[in-house]
Amino acid sequence: MTGLPKFDRMFHQAVRTRLAALLYRDASSFSDLKAALAITDGNLDAHLRKLSAAGYLHSEMQVEGRTRTVYSLSPSGMDAFEDYLDALDELLELTRPLP
């Protein structure tokens, strides 16, 4: 039997998994992320800070009538999230019946 895949603890948390999935597709503002995830400002801020401290997040201030912060996964964040998705695929593969 093969070993179980290792999961990046930074992404292996429900809100951060969903947050990373949103940012994997496209950059997004704080308010758009908050609405999509249906969480509080404080909860979102805490998760964004954790991803940022891990080097997985990039943020940029934009002025379009008003100032807003737009978030995206950094190159290392993209790589780490792809590795996380691969680990999930490995785990799912272990659940499939043998031919």
Domains along the sequence of the chain with CATH: 14-92 (1.10.10.10)
Split at pLDDT 50, 70, 90, the class of 97 is confident
Q: How far are the Cα atoms of 42, 76, 96, 98 from residue 83, in angstroms, in the given order?
A: 28, 10, 20, 24
Using CA atoms, how far apart are residues 88 and 36, in angstroms rounded to an integer?
23
Residues with Cβ < 8 Å from 21, sequence gap 6 or more? Answer: 81
pLDDT recorded at residue 2: 59
- Average pLDDT for the chain: 93
Using CA atoms, how far apart are residues 32 and 75, in angstroms rounded to an integer?
22
The closest alpha carbon to 46, from 7, 79, 73, 19, belongs to: 19
Split at pLDDT 50, 70, 90, the class of 1 is very low
Average pLDDT over residues 49-65: 94
Split at pLDDT 50, 70, 90, the class of 53 is very high
Average pLDDT over residues 13-42: 96
Q: Cα-flanking dihedrals φ and ψ of residue 38, to 5°? A: 55, 55
β-strand pairing of 57-64 with 28-29: unpaired
**Is pTM beyond 0.85 here?**
yes
